[in-house]
């Protein structure tokens, strides 16, 4: 196979070729580095490219595999990670110039796990400041490969751009209120927020600590499955990480969803937050699932309509984390974060505790809904990728465009696994995402449904014009 074709393979396809020694990890890494060199000047997906370290890791992987020591599906795969994740001796900015000279002295647990799996880390990916803004960047914002004048969504913005433009095999993002699913939807990718506690957050800069969750983005559901399997599991360094066993998620990718019960959440579909073109694509996806043998019905989660306000009350945790910076150097915080932090810092404490009680009620309603169905469906976002603009100001003609990530917030509050998969394109050629949520620690069923839908449609196989060769 021609080296320049390697980045266009899915991570899972590339993994299989590496395992049987048809492709060298060094070859694959060089191919990705060449694409980064050619395209990232426009895309702005990376903050730091670690080319020398990547080549050395690829050589090590090649030697290990050649000697019969193949570690698993991530061995030799070139990946990239959000710049919120500590990497020993490598600049880690959290999307802010405040940390322009921060070089961690240890790796985050997810980096340790990637290295143990034999992965090759290509570099650190751009993001919105502190991962607490959906759209505003302190650095030059990444461009959406489907339209360079549009946003990728955030906060894992570089993860969306790099993965969609074939600059890495898969990537890690972090999802608080939708920051993996949001860029996955706008960039035409699969992306999963696993159950809170499934993946360690040790060595991850906090946003809203009680909701922050590391998750993968990939060009296919299988890519996400093998990446998540590599980073999941209990970590003694993160006391909130779960000891629930991590299965081999690939075993769930049967392609068969006959008899699975899906519930479309009315409050997340029939709302002014969702444009008609998006709504129609979700209903079409539901019809596709029915044709594949699934049962699909509509149901209600009443508090989903208030998820944004509840989330807003809880996000007071972010200005508490950065209170010294907010007090001493507020001018160094981007405008939208600064305003949000200042407002949250004067919020009466009873509001925060009421937010926590309401979050518990949201979780109860989501779990109750999942007693009657196996999975929940909704749009990942209510609008497709919006034009890049100053600060968070995007198209103000539609109220929905000001809060495009709120549809993901319900499942963040409930701390259940939720995934975005491509389910169509707008008339102007922009991707649309279908959100699938499941029971706590049942990522396998979410993957099963997402993979079956993906393989039964052609949406995931399209390439962004200009980045398709």
Q: Cα(105)–Cα(112) distance, rounded to whole angstroms?
A: 13
Cis? peptide before 155, omega within 30° of 0: yes
Which residues, 6+ apart, have CB-to-CB distance to 281 below 8 Å? 379, 423, 424, 432, 434
* CA torsion, ordered 419, 424, 427, 431, to nearest 10 deg: 40
Spatial contact of 405 and 272, defined as CB atoms under 8 Å apart: no
Residue at token pair 């810092």: 345
Q: Cα(465)–Cα(463) distance, rounded to whole angstroms?
A: 6
- List active site positions: 82, 155, 179
Q: How far is CA 93 from the centre of its chain?
A: 18
Spatial contact of 235 and 200, defined as CB atoms under 8 Å apart: yes
Q: Cα(110)–Cα(91) distance, rounded to whole angstroms?
A: 17
Say if residue 328 is exposed, middle or buried (CB neighbours under 10 Å; 0-12, 13-18, 19+): exposed
């Amino acid at each position: 196979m021609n080296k320049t074709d390697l980045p266009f393979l899915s991570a899972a396809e590339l993994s299989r070729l590496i395992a049987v020694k048809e492709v060298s990890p060094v070859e694959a890494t060089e191919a990705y580095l060449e694409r980064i060199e050619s395209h990232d000047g426009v895309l702005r997906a990376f903050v730091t490219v670690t080319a020398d370290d990547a080549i050395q890791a690829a050589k090590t992987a090649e030697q290990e595999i050649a000697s019969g020591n193949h570690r698993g599906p991530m061995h030799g795969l070139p990946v990239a990670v959000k710049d919120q994740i500590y990497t020993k001796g490598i600049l880690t900015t959290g999307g802010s110039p405040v940390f322009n000279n921060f070089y961690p002295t240890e790796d985050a647990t997810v980096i340790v796990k990637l290295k143990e799996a034999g992965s090759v880390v290509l570099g650190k990916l751009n993001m919105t400041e502190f991962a607490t803004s959906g759209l505003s960047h302190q650095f030059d914002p990444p461009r959406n490969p489907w339209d360079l004048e549009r946003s990728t969504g955030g906060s894992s913005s570089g993860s969306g751009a790099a993965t969609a433009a074939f600059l890495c095999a898969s990537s890690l993002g972090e999802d608080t209120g939708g920051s993996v699913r949001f860029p996955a939807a706008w960039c035409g990718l699969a992306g999963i927020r696993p159950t809170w506690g499934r993946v360690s957050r040790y060595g991850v800069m906090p946003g809203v600590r009680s909701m922050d969750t590391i998750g993968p983005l990939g060009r296919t559901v299988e890519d996400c499955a093998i990446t998540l399997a590599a980073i999941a599991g209990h970590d003694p360094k993160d006391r909130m990480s779960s000891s629930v066993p991590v299965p081999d998620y690939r075993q769930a990718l049967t392609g068969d969803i006959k008899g699975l019960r899906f519930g479309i959440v009315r409050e997340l579909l029939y709302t002014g937050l969702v444009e008609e073109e998006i709504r129609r694509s979700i209903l079409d996806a539901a019809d596709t699932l029915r044709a594949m043998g699934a049962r699909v019905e509509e149901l209600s989660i009443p508090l989903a309509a208030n998820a944004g306000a509840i989330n807003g009350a809880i996000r007071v945790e972010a200005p508490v984390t950065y209170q010294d910076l907010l007090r001493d150097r507020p001018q160094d915080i981007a405008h939208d974060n600064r305003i949000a932090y200042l407002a949250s810092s004067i919020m009466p404490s009873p509001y925060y505790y009421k937010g926590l009680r309401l979050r518990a009620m949201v979780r109860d309603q989501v779990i109750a809904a999942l007693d009657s169905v196996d999975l929940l469906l909704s749009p990942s976002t209510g609008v497709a990728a919006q034009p890049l603009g100053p600060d968070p100001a995007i198209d103000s003609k539609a109220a929905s465009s000001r809060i495009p990530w709120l549809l993901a917030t319900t499942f963040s509050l409930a701390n259940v696994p939720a995934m975005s998969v491509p389910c169509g394109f707008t008339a102007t050629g922009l991707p649309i995402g279908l959100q699938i949520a499941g029971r706590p620690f049942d990522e396998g069923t979410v993957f099963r449904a997402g993979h079956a839908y993906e393989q039964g449609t052609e949406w995931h196989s399209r390439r962004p014009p200009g980045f398709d060769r």
